[in-house]
Chains A and B, each alone.
Chain A
Amino acid sequence: GENVEQHPSTLSVQEGDSAVIKCTYSDSASNYFPWYKQELGKGPQLIIDIRSNVGEKKDQRIAVTLNKTAKHFSLHITETQPEDSAVYFCAATPTYNNNDMRFGAGTRLTVKP
């Protein structure tokens, strides 16, 4: 089955700097890659996703890139703000069915004011 590895496990940046979180996956058939943000005491929330027919997707200050050949994808957050502090999870699935989705271990991002 799919195996997703995520790094770094913790990331601390200064407000206004950029943050990058990277994930690799094992199943070359994976074709859907969502990113979730989990704030303290809350469930994960989808923030951006990318499908395998696209190399990059951007939504305001966040962007995701996908390299299918290398089997890795990354989350980029620019102009970070303290409210970006949270745990971020990447995920991958070889189908569009949610039950096949596998999550990374998470990255705890801290944005220092």
Chain B
Amino acid sequence: EAGVAQSPRYKIIEKRQSVAFWCNPISGHATLYWYQQILGQGPKLLIQFQNNGVVDDSQLPKDRFSAERLKGVDSTLKIQPAKLEDSAVYLCASSAGLVNEQFFGPGTRLTVL
């Protein structure tokens, strides 16, 4: 069974630029998560989808971050404009349901200069 796929794996941008990350969850998984993992810290949930609806986006900085999962499968996370403090690894995870085990992708390492 294929795992959670993410791209790109690495991205370097200048501050105030825009960037987008893509995630393809495990086939059949209804729940999808985006996490931000700053160096030396644990993952912090940004947004959680159930199919194509948002379950929780309370920790998403909505002035610059947006995410969508239009067809209930793939998802994109966008940052516009980026700040230096956005440098982190962005992890996507999926689970069969709201309470099931989460499976994480390899992450996208973002560096904002």
Contacts and interface: CB of A to CB of B under 8 A. Distances in A.
Interface of A: 4, 6, 9, 41-46, 89, 91, 96-99, 101-106
19 contacts: A4-B42, A43-B91, A43-B93, A43-B103, A43-B104, A43-B107, A44-B43, A44-B91, A44-B104, A45-B104, A91-B42, A98-B45, A98-B95, A98-B100, A99-B33, A103-B43, A104-B42, A105-B40, A106-B40
Given A42-B106, A43-B104, A99-B48, 16 more contacts: A4-B42, A6-B42, A43-B4, A43-B103, A43-B107, A44-B104, A46-B101, A46-B102, A89-B43, A98-B98, A98-B99, A99-B55, A101-B45, A105-B41, A105-B42, A106-B40
B105 interface: yes
Interface of B: 4, 31, 33, 40-45, 48, 55-56, 91, 93, 95, 98-107
Residue among A96, A99, A105, A106 with the highest chain B CB neighbour number at 10 A: A99
Contacts of A98: 31, 33, 45, 48, 95, 98-100, 102
Nearest to A36: B104
B40 A41 contact: no
Nearest to A91: B42
A50 B100 CA distance: 14
A3 B40 CA distance: 16
Nearest to A90: B42
Contacts of A96: 99
A42 B103 CA distance: 11
